[in-house]
Amino acid sequence: MEWTGSRRTVLLTAGLSLLGAACESGDGGGSGGGGGGGGGGGGGDGKRSPFTGRTGAGDKVLAVKIDNVEAARPHTGLQKADIVYVEEVEAGLTRIMAVFASRIPSLLGPVRSARESDLELLRQYDEPGLAYSGVQSKLRSRVESAPLKALPPSRAGAAYVRKGDRPAPHNLYLRPRKLLASGPASGIGAPGDIGFRFGAAPDGGRKTDGRTVRFPAARYGFAWSAGRRRWLVSMDGSPASTTDDGRLEAATVVVQYVRVRDSGLGDSGGSVTPYTETVGSGRALVLRDGKEYEGRWRRSPATGGTTFTDADGKRLAFARGQVWVVLAPAE
């Protein structure tokens, strides 16, 4: 795998994001409850976030790998993420990669290991930080050569802590604010345009009470709450919550159907490590404001953002607030 270096386009992309926000109308469903508790650093700069469409972009992008098997729940700090990606891992289970910029929690976790797919997914960001518990030895050199700031405990140990009320390996937590203020995190890139657009709800769409997305050994439910104006998240049939912000809920849910193939790597238990391809194109579903919109996703080249369009090729606007992107195996 060849890496071509960073794309230092922060000023240009930030300017384009601000221009796009100024041209869009309506709150886009972003005025309802939820979206995570307030504060938490990162935001408050008056700029529109290219990740959430809300005021307060933040100045550093931090991606964190989060455990989400049953023993790892409830999570801490996850509701403050701008974007939550769900990707398949070994044995048909899933793992989360949460992206933070506008709001930074004081504690986050549990933190788990990175996968090769993460490197491709993060190339659409400009040198983000990536916090994770570790990687297998065959992948270490690829992480080190990728255009990102690798921030595992071996490099930023003071920012990690083990919690005594959880069994290993589900007990590693991150102090993101401490991490971002540390020397190893210097030079992390700022938020830029990754292809998302925010604004009033598009025409059309189908009314829906919710959507279930299935993986070989995991499933996610997103139930529309008219009162909260949010999609309430469930994992494996149980309501998903956090220890600090209550129920997990999203303003927009994107089901991005992708090719999942054998990476050629595996875990210590003999399971094959899947590779999720996020460069290319395919079918997508966009859930917002109690409706479901059929669409297409496209990303090319790897350093470009991911765009979501309707059947006529028009960009699908998201509701303002936290976005979940579920990278589901193509049907």
| Residues 142 and 2: beta-carbon distance below 8 Å | no
| Residues 254 and 285: beta-carbon distance below 8 Å | yes
Residue 323's CB is within 10 A of a number of other CB atoms, namely: 25
Predicted local confidence at residue 154, as pLDDT: 97
pLDDT grade for 43, boundaries at 50, 70 and 90: low
In the numeric block, which tokens belong to residue 4? Answer: 């071509």
285-313 pLDDT tens trace: 999 999 999 999 999 999 999 999 999 99
Q: Evaluate if residue 64 carries a pLDDT over 70.
A: yes
Backbone angles phi, psi at 158, to 5 degrees: -65, -20
In angstroms, rounded to a whole number, what is the distance separating the alpha carbons of residues 122 and 129? 10
In the numeric block, which tokens belong to residue 2? Answer: 């060849």
Instruction: Using a cut of 0.85, tell me whether the model's pTM lies above it.
Output: yes
Longest dimension (CA), the chain: 53
| Residues 134 and 120: beta-carbon distance below 8 Å | no
In angstroms, rounded to a whole number, what is the distance separating the alpha carbons of residues 294 and 12? 31
9-31 pLDDT tens trace: 433 333 434 334 333 333 444 43
Q: What angle do CA 288, 324, 171 make, to 5 degrees?
A: 145
Of the ranges 32-36, 126-130, 218-222, which one carries the lowest mean pLDDT score? 32-36
Q: Evaluate if residue 92 carries a pLDDT over 60.
A: yes
Predicted local confidence at residue 272, as pLDDT: 85
Domain architecture of the chain: domains with CATH = 10-329 (3.50.90.10)
